[in-house]
Structure 1
């Protein structure tokens, strides 16, 4: 896989755990199965096995490596089946590498069943950083049930050699460069060669976003370096004090106002016919309405979450929050792009 900047990332594994399982569920002799490598540092939980064994309802099939017949996900279910005296158990087979199998096992244990401990998740992330260096911090964070900042710290402190790649694959499967320096330099060349080219055309050829191209063009018109000091160091452009062309101070003030009274903003959106008359717009309005609750209500929701569900709910909340943040970032870039095009016309 090659980015627009000529950076190659091997597509040996996905940005997120790929479902290598086949749809068919097969009854397999329990005696033919072997324990796999579990992300649980303390091993299986006997109490959880006993609780599963007491259930009358059938449990979901376990996931097994087809080549080695080792259990990737479902050791508690397998031990419960043994406790109940079963001779066979339902299995879905996995076809992939050992590293991908571990990656899948981690995500499976984070999203269902007995939650992994914080130490389990950090240890798993440390291994994934080494085995899948092309995965972004956010992609690994989602798989391991951690925050992206925690994964970044784990990557920096890893005692094993982690390959230095020019790009990483995000949760959405897209390849993104770690530094925009080369892309900005290429965009500056293209703008000089094709002054009438659109932002999107330059962005496509340079392998960067239209918003970044707009910043490069503004810098060139102002006689500034198109790269910027912080971009050259692998960080954000020097104008990081702005968000989508709006001063950060003003943006933060506007965000605080929205947080204090989301109902007012939502009411205005609900009256907008351009949203109400489209199915996608109505879906967006429903999602926004579901999130438009006050601080007191969030406190009440926090109180009703039982301790054994706390980790699962917290992980889901972080994932949803990250999704909304990325959605907001895309809207910021779109607003800036529209504004730039309007100015250009």
Structure 2
């Protein structure tokens, strides 16, 4: 694409391009990855440093990919691209970008915006609170997986409790889909019901009460009686190293490629508390938000993996209790 036909785009960098970084790129003896250009306006969405470096090299053309979308979508793409590669955005750049994304895409969840901007979820939530009153916020948000979830899951928890009561064998994902909440929330509701507790926690009920416009509980929450106090006992967790040793000795895992892969993943996570503290201490300040986001993503992945194993275990137990068809129960 001719360089003369391109126009500088809306950069998420508050101070503009870094001339030293441009000079370093110009000295490299390699071809640059394609820049991203808005097809409609010919504005550069991602790759201004590469474009300026190409000019320093004396190039007349540069490889480019086209983007089709609105200006708001183009800015979001620019932020995502600058977070994942190239010269890192500063903390001020990321916070300013997150504020613009919240304003242009209020339906996006805090986690989705955090991933796009390279901030922590709590930082995005703080920025959102400072920008608009609670009553002006959307009632639902779109997560990183593209699914729409309500901000207040109290009604979803109540609906999940009803679905579990109607069909105790339903999977977490099925109940989550019908109730409009996450599988993790459904799992929490099921555990609370099994222990004799209500599906909605005291803290959540208090939040629902505080967010009601008339100062009272909404009709659905007002019908929930006061929850009895449950004394929680923290169990002594087994040593992960001992549990891992048992799994390593199991031939059904050791003799399969996927089983060995699972064992390697488990070994990488089998660290003591002291080692985790040491790892936390070596993370530099400018990388902390990114490491926090990655750690939470990995924790969610392991949690979903545990939930799937739970579902498989429940399904196998149900199958074991159901006699095969055609087999009599005896006289």
TM range (shorter): 0.7 to 0.9
Q: Root-mean-square deviation (CA), in Å?
A: 3.8
Report the Cα offset of residue 320 of structure 1. Answer: 3.1
* Pairing 1:132–2:105 present: yes
Would you say the 8 A contact 2:17–2:48 is kept in 1? yes
Does residue 198 (structure 1) correspond to residue 169 (structure 2)? The answer is yes
1:55-90 CA-partner distances (Å, limit 9, x unpaired) = 111111111101000001111111111111111111
Alignment of 1:1-345 (within 5 A): 28-158=1-131, 163-190=136-163, 194=166, 197-200=168-171, 202-208=175-181, 209=183, 210-215=186-191, 217-218=193-194, 222=196, 225-232=198-205, 233=207, 249-250=234-235, 254=237, 263-292=241-270, 311=286, 314=288, 317-331=291-305, 333=307
Asked which structure has the greater CA Rg, the reply is 2
2-side partners of 1:275 and 1:112: how far apart?
Answer: 38
Q: Is the 8 A contact 1:78 1:89 kept in 2?
A: yes
- How far apart in 2 are the matches of 1:127 and 1:118? 14
Return the offset for 1:266: 3.5
Q: Secondary structure at the match of 2:261?
A: helix
Q: CA 1:130/1:269 → structure 2, altered by over 3 Å: closer, same or farther?
A: farther
TM-score for the superposition, normalised by structure 2: 0.73
Aligned in 2, Cα 1:198/1:302: closer, same or farther, shift over 3 Å? Answer: closer
The 2-side partners of 1:110 and 1:85 are apart by 28
Gaps of at least 5 residues in structure 1 are: 1-27
How far the C-alpha of 1:191 sits from its partner, in A, is 5.7
Paired residue total: 294
Q: Secondary structure at the match of 2:62?
A: strand
Q: Distance in 1 between matches of 2:233 and 2:106?
A: 33
The CA deviation at 1:183 is 1.9
TM-score (norm 1): 0.71
Contact 1:180–1:234, Cα closer than 8 Å, also in 2: no
CA distance in 2, matches of 1:127, 1:80: 28
**CA distance in 1: counterparts of 2:159 and 2:276, whole angstroms:** 50
- Judge conservation of contact 1:63–1:74 (CA < 8 Å) in 2: yes
**5+ long unaligned stretches in structure 2:** 210-225, 322-331
